Chain A
Amino acid sequence: MHLKKLPMEGPLVIYEKGYDSGVLDAGGGYVVTAHIESHNHPSAVEPYGGAATGVGGVIRDILSAGTRPIAILDGLRFGDITKDKHARWLFKSAVSGIADYGNCLGVPTVGGEVEFDACYQNYALVDVAAVGFGKKSDLIRNHAQKGDLVVLLGGMTGRDGVGGSQFASDLLESQDRSAVQIPDPFIEKLIIEAVIEARRQKLIHAMKDLGGGGLSCAISETADALGVGIEMDVKKVHTRESGMSPEEIMTSESQERMLIITGSAEIKRLQDICAKFRISCSVIGSVTSGGQMRIKQGQETLADLPASVVANASLLDLASKRPSYLDELDAEPPGPIPDHTRTLELLVASPNISSRAWVYGRYDHEVGIRTVVRPGLDASVLRLDNGRYLAVTIDASPKHCYVDPRHGAAGCFEEACRNVACTGARPAGMLDHLQFGSPEDPEIFWTFLESLGGLAEYSRDMGIPCIGGKVSLYNETPAGPIKPTPMVAVLGLADRPFVAQKAADGDSLIILGDTKDEMGGSEYYEYVHGIVGGACPVVDSAVSRKNMDAVLDLIEGRLVKSVHDCSKGGLAVAATELCMTSEIGCDVGLDVPGGAPLDAALFSESHSRYLLVADAKSLDSVTSLLGKRGVPFGMLGKFGGSRMRFADGKKTVIDLSVDKAQRAWSSSLGDLVHG
């Protein structure tokens, strides 16, 4: 399988058989678990329920390891909301779905990102990552022995969701109600509490969430992972509707269900816990020796086959070919722009750059009282019970990946690492979710392999292991395949939290890292000029590591007041964001290291760059540390006043009121949604 290309081992990675989530050792006897999944096809037809049940599924994966879910992150992609009313409806409904589900569970949605691009027209990508936390000694060590009981716990099994996985490869127009999954966050909350209580009483031998493929997949995968057989009776399954056929029962993707293996000595206590929370708890079968999965209806055997056959469907080695579209991209750079101030104003208020407060204001991002750094900055930070801090972020850059799948994918991974580093945390693990069109198209499969290669290379170079991943294929809209959209979540650990302070009058703005003329896939090219093409930013792992180490050392010594990642919209946007959040102006000189021409200096999205804010008393220490490390940096200017000014030599090229920029930045997404 191609995914084996990603390095899965590292000093902090804990591997357990049968886990859907990755596990990291957080120190002091505690672990962090993490997982990412998408719910793209269901969200494209029923965005509220699709997005909500997406949250539910990934939360149950975290729970399956025996850890309590402590955070949700969402990565969302829709069509062009400036023009497309349907995209607006999809966006608004998906956000409501995530909010209603996560808020009800009491699991905070602490971070995420949203992007709009015409390639997702009439479609939606809804990725959800979740993080769990618990004691290492409480992890469920999946095991089973002959005679153990197989229990289905949680909501009832109904016809909704029958054939949902199959639906993924069907056309979206087919209005089949069976693909719709109705979210019930209340039942999910009860399952969480019941499972945690059962784990506390050590009643769980093995556990698995019911996801795609329903019971048939959960049973076969569990038997295969544990090296046992399972015999079950469809008549024992609690159904919501009468007259369901065995096939419907086995493949129903009704939400909020868990498969638990327990012993006959423990079943009574498990049933008592389920009775307390009033969730159903049916013994549907038992563990047998040998690897057979036997499905019965009363006395009659309906199926009897090796579990390994059902569980291990392989990702075939398909043909791949460099796509011809790459040779047809725009090659000509845009001409000079008349008004840089207007361009910056436009970018700051653009759908892909403006403030996401409209989204995260709907999410309870504080419940659980762990949130030290809130959404809206580079990465969010949670406090852990072992006195340490976890930084998390999620990222994708399909515009870069479209013009260069390999460097685009590596770049989005690096960007996620930069975001985590900005909080003083060192990246410790990553999750990837690879979203592409049909892999049967050799050109699409090529972009898949290239993206995977880019992620694997950066992962190896940086020693950041992949702790979990998923693949979502056949993401096609009526107008064709989506752009390659690998999504990356990065987790980092820190001993002390670094909470950014506002920039004040007289503080210095410094850029670390080279700015290059790499404008392919940038917001400047695509949003301002409508150009798709050009050279995409390239990550050099050695530079990436050196720059990141310097930033982490500056933060460790508390020499800087804040660090901000330089990405979408380039230096001009990143500096403006610092000014808007600090409510102060800045005079910025554009003598940036790397030798980029004016427009690139302002708007290029070159990687491995950070903006630093230092006050007068630590400025010398900052520059001497950067000098000693031999990392490129430039003194951009000083904060003060109420205007953003960018000067090219002596000539002022941008002069913008921070207050005005702030108003446009903070209100534009909400204004777009409410049309």
Chain B
Amino acid sequence: MPAFVVSVTIENKPGISDPEGDTILNDLVLQGAHEAVSCIRTAKMLRFTIEESDGDSALARVQKICDDLRIYNPLVSQVSIGVQAGSN
């Protein structure tokens, strides 16, 4: 079976604050001359290399893994998942 790389980005849901992003924005970026920046959100990314019949199945499998193993806490965080062919 072909290999796919599935990227999982975990970040706080919109409306849930992100103190780390706020600090990087206010205390670092906006201290320079970068007023064009209005928001920074932090996220954690996991990259899965997985063998599956096709990209959609790889995506579905990883989504299921994330849900089953509580890789993110659905109460606080959301995940966005992308897939590409190949390996890490």
Distance (Å) between the CB of B29 and the closest chain A CB? 14
A153-192: CB near B (< 8 Å → 1, else 0) gives 0001011100000000000000101011011101100000
In the bound complex, what is the Cα–Cα distance between A165 and B12 (angstroms)? 22
- Nearest CB in chain B to that of A158: its residue: B17
On whether the beta carbons of B13 and A177 are closer than 8 Å, the reply is yes
On whether the beta carbons of B16 and A160 are closer than 8 Å, the reply is yes
Contacts of B16 in A (CB 8 A): 160, 177, 180, 182
**Which candidate, B43-51, B53-61, B68-76, is the interface stretch facing chain A?**
B68-76
Q: Could you tell me which residues of chain B, from 1 to 45, have a CB within 8 Å of some CB in chain A?
A: 12-13, 15-19, 23, 26-27
Q: Could you tell me which residues of chain B, from 65 to 84, have a CB within 8 Å of some CB in chain A?
A: 70, 73-76
Report if A45 contacts B (CB, 8 A).
yes
Report if A49 contacts B (CB, 8 A).
yes
Given known pairs A45-B75, A187-B19, the reply for A89 and B70 (CB within 8 Å) is yes
Report if A240 contacts B (CB, 8 A).
yes
Report if A556 contacts B (CB, 8 A).
no
Contacts of B75 in A (CB 8 A): 45-46, 175, 177, 179-180
In the bound complex, what is the Cα–Cα distance between A45 and B76 (angstroms)? 10
Given known pairs A89-B70, A186-B23, A278-B26, the reply for A241 and B76 (CB within 8 Å) is no
In the bound complex, what is the Cα–Cα distance between A183 and B15 (angstroms)? 14
Distance (Å) between the CB of B79 and the closest chain A CB? 15
In the bound complex, what is the Cα–Cα distance between A179 and B76 (angstroms)? 10
Contacts of B15 in A (CB 8 A): 158-160, 177, 241
Given known pairs A158-B17, A240-B17, the reply for A182 and B12 (CB within 8 Å) is yes
In the bound complex, what is the Cα–Cα distance between A156 and B15 (angstroms)? 12
On whether the beta carbons of A182 and B73 are closer than 8 Å, the reply is no
Interface size on A (CB < 8 Å)?
21
A273-298: CB near B (< 8 Å → 1, else 0) gives 00000100000000000000000000
- Nearest CB in chain B to that of A49: its residue: B76
Give the residue of B17, B18, B23, B73 whose beta carbon is less than 8 angstroms from that of A46.
B73
In the bound complex, what is the Cα–Cα distance between A240 and B16 (angstroms)? 10
A245-267: CB near B (< 8 Å → 1, else 0) gives 00000000010000000000000
On whether the beta carbons of A182 and B13 are closer than 8 Å, the reply is no
On whether the beta carbons of A175 and B74 are closer than 8 Å, the reply is yes
Distance (Å) between the CB of A53 and the closest chain B CB? 12
On whether the beta carbons of B70 and A46 are closer than 8 Å, the reply is no
In the bound complex, what is the Cα–Cα distance between A45 and B18 (angstroms)? 19
In the bound complex, what is the Cα–Cα distance between A184 and B22 (angstroms)? 10
Contacts of B13 in A (CB 8 A): 177
- Nearest CB in chain A to that of B76: its residue: A180
Distance (Å) between the CB of A188 and the closest chain B CB? 10
In the bound complex, what is the Cα–Cα distance between A158 and B12 (angstroms)? 14
Distance (Å) between the CB of A639 and the closest chain B CB? 48
On whether the beta carbons of A160 and B17 are closer than 8 Å, the reply is yes
Contacts of A175 in B (CB 8 A): 74-75
Contacts of B18 in A (CB 8 A): 182
Q: Could you tell me which residues of chain A, from 226 to 250, have a CB within 8 Å of some CB in chain B?
A: 240-241
On whether the beta carbons of B74 and A182 are closer than 8 Å, the reply is no
Contacts of B17 in A (CB 8 A): 156, 158, 160, 182, 184, 240, 254
- Nearest CB in chain A to that of B74: its residue: A175
In the bound complex, what is the Cα–Cα distance between A180 and B23 (angstroms)? 20
In the bound complex, what is the Cα–Cα distance between A187 and B22 (angstroms)? 11
On whether the beta carbons of A177 and B76 are closer than 8 Å, the reply is yes
In the bound complex, what is the Cα–Cα distance between A177 and B15 (angstroms)? 9
Contacts of B12 in A (CB 8 A): 182
Contacts of A46 in B (CB 8 A): 73, 75-76
In the bound complex, what is the Cα–Cα distance between A160 and B13 (angstroms)? 11
In the bound complex, what is the Cα–Cα distance between A405 and B88 (angstroms)? 59
Distance (Å) between the CB of B72 and the closest chain A CB? 12
A69-98: CB near B (< 8 Å → 1, else 0) gives 000000000000000000001000000000
Contacts of A45 in B (CB 8 A): 75
Contacts of A241 in B (CB 8 A): 15
Contacts of A159 in B (CB 8 A): 15
| Centre residue among B13, B15, B18 by max chain A CB count within 10 A | B15
- Nearest CB in chain A to that of B26: its residue: A278
- Nearest CB in chain A to that of B19: its residue: A184
Contacts of B27 in A (CB 8 A): 278
- Nearest CB in chain B to that of A45: its residue: B75
Contacts of A183 in B (CB 8 A): 19
Distance (Å) between the CB of A442 and the closest chain B CB? 34
In the bound complex, what is the Cα–Cα distance between A89 and B69 (angstroms)? 11
In the bound complex, what is the Cα–Cα distance between A254 and B76 (angstroms)? 14
On whether the beta carbons of B70 and A182 are closer than 8 Å, the reply is no
On whether the beta carbons of B19 and A182 are closer than 8 Å, the reply is yes
- Nearest CB in chain A to that of B23: its residue: A186
- Nearest CB in chain A to that of B22: its residue: A184
Contacts of B73 in A (CB 8 A): 46
Distance (Å) between the CB of B12 and the closest chain A CB? 7
A128-166: CB near B (< 8 Å → 1, else 0) gives 000000000000000000000000000010111000000
A285-316: CB near B (< 8 Å → 1, else 0) gives 00000000000000000000000000000000
In the bound complex, what is the Cα–Cα distance between A417 and B50 (angstroms)? 58
- Nearest CB in chain B to that of A183: its residue: B19
In the bound complex, what is the Cα–Cα distance between A105 and B73 (angstroms)? 25
A14-37: CB near B (< 8 Å → 1, else 0) gives 000000000000000000000000
Q: Could you tell me which residues of chain A, from 200 to 243, have a CB within 8 Å of some CB in chain B?
A: 240-241
| Centre residue among B17, B23, B70 by max chain A CB count within 10 A | B17
Cβ-closest 8 pairs across A and B: A184-B19, A182-B17, A180-B76, A159-B15, A160-B16, A46-B75, A180-B75, A45-B75
Task: Identify the A interface with B (CB < 8 A).
Answer: 45-46, 49, 89, 156, 158-160, 175, 177, 179-180, 182-184, 186-187, 240-241, 254, 278
Task: Identify the B interface with A (CB < 8 A).
Answer: 12-13, 15-19, 23, 26-27, 70, 73-76
Q: What 8 new A-B contacts, CB under 8 Å, besides A175-B75, A184-B17, A278-B27?
A: A45-B75, A158-B17, A177-B76, A182-B12, A182-B18, A182-B19, A186-B19, A240-B17
> Would you give 6 A-B contacts (Cβ < 8 Å), ordered by A?
A46-B76, A175-B74, A177-B76, A184-B17, A186-B19, A187-B19
